[in-house]
Amino acid sequence: MDDNEVFKALADPSRRLLLDLLNRSDGRTLNELCAHLQMTRFGVMKHLNVLEEAGLITTRKAGREKLHYLNAVPIRQIYERWVSQYAEPWAIGLTSLKQELESADVMENKPKNVNRIAIKAAPEQVWAALTDPAKTSKFWFNCSILSSWEKNSPFELTDQQGVKKVEGTLLEIDPPGRLVMSWKFLMPDTAGDQLSRVTWEITPHAEMQGVTLVTVVHDDFEQAPAAEKVLLNGIPIVLSGMKTFLETGSSLSGV
């Protein structure tokens, strides 16, 4: 994402209000957002387009409706670039963006957390970074991913000491575009959680050659509230780390 576009988008108070509305309750329709702004429907659409072009929101179709989601990744990158280097390390927790997503699917209402980032790399490179244990350790909190990479096969994320942190099953695998995983953290705080689901969607950017859009959806977490909180904060960091690794070969500190 272009920092200038993000700052430009954030400069307008109406656009900041839209982000606040999505932060309070995500997955909203245009009509729901229009109810909070004293302007025409067309005016709200223009502001939403600016936010989407800056990467600050994402949209997904649900039947005839278009749902709007807050995307925390660019804000996380702005923080890392312009704030964290001047702040005390403990302050990082104060910048977490809470997303309480109540999105309406075609057949049912289910909460989702949606994050998206643009990476200057081919889809095949993104897929390799996601599935190669030597690469995941560079951006996934020092964890390596292990699997046979066949549908219905198990996978695990293991730290540098060989301790398994996450386990699950590959529900769908369609390289280099789509990966769906059941997900369970193996930590004391998440001991009571059931399986949730993480979906990776990897698509070439429609207008920018050599750029790939990576979207991560976490859902089915009604019985996994602890995992939902961990991934809500963790996925933007993982995506930022993946972007940094693929574009520069470097790792984010601590990731």
Digit-coded pLDDT (tens) for 189-234: 999 999 999 999 999 988 888 999 999 999 999 999 999 999 998 9
For the chain, give the mean pLDDT. Answer: 86
- Give the whole-angstrom CA distance, residue 76 versus residue 96: 8
On whether the CB atoms of residues 243 and 220 are closer than 8 A, the answer is: no
- Model confidence at 253: pLDDT above 70: no
CATH number of 3-97: 1.10.10.10
Residue 128 burial by Cβ neighbours in a 10 Å radius (0-12, 13-18, 19+): middle
Tell me, what's the pLDDT at 107? Answer: 39
CATH number of 114-248: 3.30.530.20
Going by pLDDT thresholds of 50, 70 and 90, the confidence category of residue 104 is very low
pTM of the model: 0.64
What is the dihedral sign for C-alpha 29, 32, 36, 42?
Answer: positive
Report percent pLDDT > 70 for the chain: 85
Greater model confidence, 128 or 206: 128
Going by pLDDT thresholds of 50, 70 and 90, the confidence category of residue 109 is low
Q: Where in the chain is the domain with CATH 1.10.10.10?
A: 3-97
Q: Which two tokens stand for residue 212?
A: 């790939």
The residue whose two tokens read 């387009």 is: 49
Q: Where in the chain is the domain with CATH 3.30.530.20?
A: 114-248
In tens, the pLDDT along 9-66 reads 888 989 999 999 998 888 899 999 999 999 999 999 999 999 998 888 989 888 888 9
- Model confidence at 96: pLDDT above 50: no
- Give the whole-angstrom CA distance, residue 86 versus residue 89: 9
Report percent pLDDT > 90 for the chain: 63
Tell me, what's the pLDDT at 254? Answer: 54
